[in-house]
Structure 1
Amino acid sequence: MSMPRSPAAASRLSHAVIAAALLSTTAACTPPPDSPTEKPTEPQAAQLRDAVRAPLEAAQKTRQSVDADAQRTREAIEAAGG
Structure 2
Amino acid sequence: MIRTAALAVAVLALAACGGTPSDSQADADKAAADRAAEQAAAKKQKTVFDDQLKALDKAKGVEKQLQDDKEKRDEELQKQENGG
TM-score normalized with structure 1 length: 0.42
RCO higher in structure (CA 8 A, sep ≥6): 2
Work out which of the two has the higher radius of gyration on C-alpha atoms and give 1 or 2. 1
Q: Which has the higher helix share?
A: 2
TM-score normalized with structure 2 length: 0.41
